[in-house]
Chain A
Amino acid sequence: MNSLFHAINAAAASFVVRAIIFSLSGIFLLIVWILARRKLRRRYFDRLADAGFYARQHWDEILAGEIAANEWNDVHRDAEAIITLSLDRMDTADASEAEKLLDFLRRTGLLDRILIATRRARGWQREAALVRLGRTRAPDAVTVLAEALDDSHPKTQLAAVRGLARTGLAAAGEAMLERVVAGHLSLPGTSLMNALIVCTRANPRLLLPYLRVARGPVRELLARVIAEVASIGLGDDLLLLASDPLPEVRASVARALAHAEFGFAFPALSQLVADGEWYVRLRALTSLGQFGQTRAVPILLRGVCDANRHVRQRAAEALAHAPDPIGVLRDVLKTEDAYALQAMIAELDRTGDFAKVVEMLASSTGGTARNTDAESILQALEAGAEELSAILRIPSAPKTAQRA
């Protein structure tokens, strides 16, 4: 036993001495790292700021070529400052300015410099270069970025998707769509959807052939994209998709129909408000409400009596904006649905119109038949509001929760 203790003690003693040396060296290295990093970064950013300041001051001359490119192109820092400035301007440029900037990037060899970086750089530097290439909005960048989509590393693929999104070109959208449908690109939905939205916004028809052949989650993804970009230009194709077996697609169509003309969208939306899936009904009612047409009111009234509280609330939201709120309230009362009335009161409350409506009703109460009608609406509203407050006071048993 003693020999074991002795051995442990000897090992511990020699370890502790080495550990002290290790800790001291670690502290020294860490402090040097902190100080050196501070110093170097400060120097680098000071110089970059100087270069940026010079470039901003002489931007017009640089762009016009009055200051020759070889004066700044050979110094990496100066070229970096000018690339950054060009791309920042490109982000907010209109078509003609973007063309000038792209011409400048080509003429001065900066575009080539970025292209080379996308091929030579590795890891995060390549990812940054790919996004930067996309920001140039150069049509020839699409091929390079599309090649990067085939990279085995998901981070590179993601950077390529971001780069393609920055171009905003239809060709970039097609490059992504081909790979998505073929199952070669499986990235997190949001980045891919954002990129597809940007690239297909100008021409949503681009999505249709891919949507026809897509299956499963890819089809859902494309449906979500089409919901964001769909326009009246899609025409009858949109109506065909309204009877798609996938509820996501139907919901997207319902959403997209909000951009169409009322006469065109109304029959399809009337069909979708009776859909089996609550979120399809919700989307359809939202779109119907956006038209602000009186023809939609009877359908919205059916929506406010829906079994799902989200759907009821959305229908109430649309009805609250109807041109004749008192008339709508009368119709809601006629449904004899307490939940519908509660949804209306909650919505009027949310928009701040509740007091206004009550005031309007109070001022018009009197002896005539019409005014008796107003009085009954007022009573119902006040009773309903009280009931809602009561529900709030007893949160464990809300009536709406039982139903939803």
Chain B
Amino acid sequence: MRELLQISNNTFFFYYLASNCSYLALLIAALLSSRAHHQHLASLRLERMKSSPLTPPITLIAPAHNEEASVAVSVRSLLRVDYPELEVVVVNDGSEDRTLARLQEEFDLRPARLLYLSQIATAPVRGVYRSVADPRLIVVDKEAGGSKADASNAGLNAASSPYTCVVDCDSLLESDALLRIMVTILEDPKRVVAAGGIVRVLNGCELANGRIRRVRLPRSPIVIFQVIEYLRAFLIGREGWASGNMLTIISGAFGVFRRDVVMRVGGYRAEAIGEDFDLVARIHRKMLEEKQEYRITFVPDPVCWTEVPPTAHSLGLQRARWQKGLIDVLWPNRDMLFRRRYGRIGAFALPYMWVFELFAPVFEFLGIAMIILASVLGTLSHRFFIEFMIYGYLFAAMISVGAVLQEEITYRRYNDWRDVARLILYCFLEQCPYRQMHLIWRLKGMWQYARGDVVWRPMQRNGLESATPSREAHP
């Protein structure tokens, strides 16, 4: 028994060490990459891109399912995005509320018998509308397909631009977000097939007419923890992986894809739980199998603001779903692991996802249980136990503070000193009990997936418009 505990403790120790080393490597790679990007921007002027006849058109696709509360504000904000040739396709995915009616009232829609070609199969389309008020807006009304992926595919069918960007209807794009994300694409249009931007937390910010008037940190601790998580995931994780051309996730809330490439891989997989991760994985697979030179990049400065779950319950549902999405993509792509033809994706990125993302909650749970048991049985010295816990706590806090530094270097949106101080403080508070709650949600997600429970449970949202007064009341 003692030997077994000893072996398991050593295994968990080395697992934890490897995981920390990889975080540290990602942090360093991300800091270097952001610095290079920031410096590169010094010799670039976005307005030149705007006036160029060669800047390609983009279609923004916004799937909307029961988004009555926020759809008008969100679409208005999308139409205000500063980009020379823009088309906005809103897909009403069988909403049971007044989403379509709200769009009709706000944008004066009339039926348009456009040549809608169903290149990717979706749930039946009931009608296509074009706005009289702004002809750049197209609304596709379809029967509910049961997933965001199905709605996104309908949007892809209706899109007429070479580049598409799927955004959530409860999100706000900064006005220069598309120009900024297109910088990397236009510098290498043949190779760059997709680019992801950063998604940041909208809760707490002050809004006016669908635009952010002032970026503030929310008051709710559970939302602040998510702010730190988002900074860590995007500014360290994605930036770090993208610097080695190993980015495996582009957020479903904001990412630009070459439409022909998305069409070639058959669009989004309608039954996928994590459709964003699934699409990127299939693009990697296709490109690597066809031996094509390609890049999937991350750009740290184009910002999409999104509302995150404000309560522990809704956050728990979201994280369980994310965990299910992770399994749902990694399992079908297991044949890519350690196969030469899948290059660095098969050799590093996917194994990392398996070991340090998918199984992390299992290892963490077992690790804590074993260490406590060993400490109680006396096979582990109490001193070492305490020192190890302190190390774990400090190292995790260091990575989170690193994410705050990245925020400072890249976009520096929290201008208030108090917000920065609170962010740093919460980097230290995140470890207990939030981290343990997160662990349980993820384990729950795995358990649900194993039981075959893959039903989509929509997140409860306040809506962009209705949330504004409370945000303005922020001190």
Is A194 a contact of B48 with CB atoms below 8 Å?
A: yes
- Interchain CA distance A15-B42 in the complex, whole Å: 42
Pick the residue among B54, B128, B384 that contacts A9 (CB under 8 A): B384
Instruction: Please name all residues of chain B whose beta carbon is closer than 8 Å to the beta carbon of A165 when the two chains form the complex.
Output: 48
Q: Is the CB of B40 within 8 A of A38?
A: no
State A348–B122 Cα separation when bound (angstroms).
Answer: 27
A212 to chain B, nearest CB (A): 23
In chain A, residues 1-38, which have Cβ atoms closer than 8 Å to a Cβ of chain B?
1, 5, 8-9, 12-13, 15-17, 19-20, 23-24, 26-27, 30-31, 33-34, 37-38
- Known A124-B43, A188-B189: A12·B384 in contact at CB below 8 Å: yes
Q: Is B290 an interface residue (CB 8 A)?
A: no
Q: Using Cβ atoms and an 8 Å threshold, which residues of chain B touch A385? A: 113
Whether B292 sits at the interface, judged by CB under 8 Å, is no
A124 B391 Cβ-Cβ under 8 A: no
A396 interface hit (Cβ, 8 Å)? yes
**Any A CB within 8 A of the CB of B157:** yes
Q: B186 at the A/B interface (Cβ < 8 Å)?
A: yes
- The answer to whether A158 has its CB under 8 Å from any CB of chain B is yes
Do B44 and A346 touch across chains, with their CB atoms under 8 A apart? no
Residue B89 interfacial (CB < 8 Å) = no
Q: Are B39 and A123 in contact (CB under 8 A)?
A: yes
CB of B377 to closest CB in A, whole Å: 14
On whether the beta carbons of A392 and B186 are closer than 8 Å, the reply is no
Report the separation of the CA atoms of residues A24 and B391 in the bound assembly, to the nearest whole angstrom. 9
Minimum C-beta distance from A179 to chain B (A): 18
Verify B52–A23 contact, CB threshold 8 A. no
Hey, which chain A residues are within 8 Å of B132, CB to CB? 352
Are B44 and A162 within 8 A (Cβ)?
Answer: yes
The answer to whether residues A38 and B420 also contact, given A5-B10, A346-B115, A395-B116 and a CB cut-off of 8 A, is yes
Q: Shortest beta-carbon distance, A255 to chain B, in Å?
A: 11
Interface size on B, residues (CB 8 A): 62
Is A334 an interface residue, CB under 8 A from the partner?
A: no
- A30 in contact with B121 (CB, 8 Å): no
Q: Closest CB-CB distance, B291 to chain A, in whole Å?
A: 20
Instruction: Answer yes or no: B32 CB below 8 A from chain A CBs.
Output: no
Write out the residue numbers on chain A whose beta carbons fall within 8 Å of the beta carbon of B130.
349-350
Q: Which partner residue on chain A sits nearest B47 by CB separation?
A: A91
Decide if A31 touches B113 in the complex (CB within 8 Å). no
Interface set, chain B 378-410, CB cutoff 8 A to A = 381, 383-384, 387-388, 390-391, 394-395, 397-398, 401-402, 404-405, 408-409
Q: Which of A13, A16, A197 contacts B53 (CB 8 A)?
A: A197
Would you call B424 an interface residue if the criterion is a C-beta within 8 Å of the partner chain's C-beta atoms?
Answer: yes
The smallest C-beta distance from A259 to any residue of chain B, in angstroms, reads 13
- Asked if A395 contacts B401 (CB within 8 A), the reply is no
Residue of A nearest to B126 (CB): A393
Whether, in the assembled complex, B118 has its beta carbon less than 8 Å from a beta carbon of chain A, the answer is: yes
Question: Do B384 and A30 touch across chains, with their CB atoms under 8 A apart?
Answer: no
From B115, B119, B420, name the one whose CB has the most chain A CB atoms within 10 angstroms.
B115
A398-B394 in contact given A5-B6, A38-B420, A188-B187 (Cβ < 8 Å): no
Q: Which chain A residues border B122 with CB–CB below 8 Å? A: 395
Q: Chain A 314-344, CB within 8 Å of chain B: the 1/0 string? A: 0000000000000000000000000000110
Contacts A127-B40, A197-B53 given; indicate if A392 touches B128 (C-beta within 8 A). yes
Mask, A216-246, CB within 8 Å of B = 1, is 0000000010001000000000000000000
B342 nearest CB across to chain A (Å): 26
Given contacts A31-B401, A37-B408, A346-B114, contact A128 B42 (CB under 8 A): yes
Shortest Cβ distance from A311 into chain B, in angstroms? 13
Given A30-B398, A162-B43, A346 contacting B113 (CB threshold 8 A): yes
Say whether A313 contacts B115, CB under 8 Å: yes
User: Which residues of A lie under 8 Å from residue B398 when comparing CB positions?
Assistant: 23, 26-27, 30
CB of B293 within 8 Å of the partner chain: no
Cβ of B188 < 8 Å from any Cβ of A? yes
Q: In the bound complex, what is the Cα–Cα distance between A392 and B129 (angstroms)? A: 12
The answer to whether A155 has its CB under 8 Å from any CB of chain B is: yes
Q: Chain B nearest CB: distance from A157 CB in Å?
A: 12
B127 within 8 A of A: yes
- B437 within 8 A of partner (CB): no
Q: Is B188's CB under 8 angstroms from A188's CB?
A: yes
Q: Assess whether A393 is in contact with B404, with CB atoms less than 8 Å apart.
A: no
In the complex, the answer to whether A27 meets B43 with C-beta atoms within 8 Å is: no
- Nearest opposing residue in chain B for A348, CB measure: B113
A26–B113 alpha-carbon span in the complex (Å): 61
Could you tell me if B401 and A398 are in contact, using CB atoms closer than 8 angstroms? no
**Given the contacts A194-B52, A197-B53, A228-B53, A400 and B117 also touching, CB distance less than 8 Å:** yes
CB neighbours of B126 from chain A (8 A)? 393
Please tell me which one of the listed residues B13, B42, B44, B405 contacts residue A34 in the complex, with CB atoms under 8 A apart. Answer: B405
Does residue B263 face the partner (Cβ distance < 8 Å to A)?
Answer: no
- Which residue of chain A lies nearest to B427 when distances are taken between CB atoms in the complex? A27
CB neighbours (8 Å) of B395 from chain A are 19, 23
**A57 proximal to B (CB < 8 A):** no
A139 contacts B by Cβ under 8 Å = no
B124 interfacial by beta-carbon distance below 8 Å: yes
Does A172 lie at the interface of the complex (its beta carbon under 8 Å from any beta carbon of B)?
no
Question: What residues of A have a CB within 8 angstroms of the CB of B114 in the complex?
Answer: 346, 349-350
A343, B113: Cα distance in complex, Å: 10
* A16 neighbours in B (Cβ, 8 Å): 384, 387-388, 391
Report how far A24 CA is from B401 CA in the complex, Å: 11
Contact present for B391 and A19 (CB under 8 Å): yes
Q: How far is the CA of A130 from the CA of B381 in the complex (A)?
A: 62
With A123-B39, A124-B43, A191-B187 known as contacts, the answer to whether A388 contacts B13 (CB < 8 A) is: no
Q: In the complex where A19-B395, A395-B125 touch, is A127 in contact with B186 (Cβ < 8 A)?
A: no
In the complex, the answer to whether A13 meets B40 with C-beta atoms within 8 Å is no
> Is A251 part of the binding interface, using a Cβ–Cβ cutoff of 8 Å?
no
Contacts of B6 in A (CB 8 A): 5
Q: How far is the CA of A228 from the CA of B54 in the complex (A)?
A: 9
B48 in contact with A1 (CB, 8 Å): no
Chain A nearest CB: distance from B433 CB in Å? 21
B186 to chain A, nearest CB (A): 4
User: CA–CA, A165 to B48, complex, Å?
Assistant: 10
- Take A37-B408, A124-B40, A191-B186 as given contacts and tell me if A396 and B118 are in contact as well, using a CB distance cutoff of 8 Å: yes
Residues of B within 8 A of A19 (CB): 391, 395
How many angstroms between the C-alpha atoms of A20 and B398 in the bound complex? 11
Could you give, for residues 120-139 of chain A, a 1 whenever the CB lies within 8 Å of some chain B CB and a 0 otherwise? 00011101101100000000
**A193-B54 CB under 8 A given contacts A30-B405, A123-B39:** yes
Q: How far is the CB of B391 from chain A (nearest CB, A)?
A: 5
Q: Are A349 and B112 in contact (CB under 8 A)?
A: yes
Cβ of A152 within 8 Å of any chain B Cβ, yes or no, is no
A345 in contact (CB, < 8 A)? yes
B116: shortest Cβ distance to chain A, in Å?
A: 5
B54 touching A24, Cβ below 8 Å: no
Report the minimum CB–CB distance from B268 to chain A (whole Å): 16
How far apart sit A205 and B400, CA to CA, in the bound complex (Å)? 58
Mark each residue of chain A from 93 to 119: 1 if its CB lies under 8 Å from any CB of chain B, else 0: 000000000000000000000000000
Give the docked Cα–Cα distance between A27 and B119 (Å): 52
Residues of chain A with a CB closer than 8 A to B335's CB = none
Asked whether B42 lies within 8 Å of A395 as measured between CB atoms, the reply is no
Verify if A70 is at the interface (C-beta below 8 Å from B). no
State whether A23 and B391 are in contact (beta carbons under 8 Å apart), knowing that A5-B10, A398-B118 are contacts in the complex.
yes
Q: Is B3 an interface residue (CB 8 A)?
A: yes
Do residues B42 and A190 form an inter-chain contact, with CB atoms below 8 A? no
In whole angstroms, how far apart are the Cα atoms of A274 and B128 in the complex? 33
When distances are taken between beta carbons in the complex, the residues of chain B under 8 Å from A224 are 54
Jot down 5 A-B pairs with beta carbons below 8 A, ordered by A: A13-B383, A158-B187, A194-B54, A228-B53, A388-B113
Please list the 10 inter-chain residue pairs (A to B) with the smallest Cβ-Cβ separation, ordered nearest first: A395-B118, A124-B39, A23-B394, A388-B113, A128-B42, A131-B43, A127-B43, A26-B398, A190-B186, A128-B43
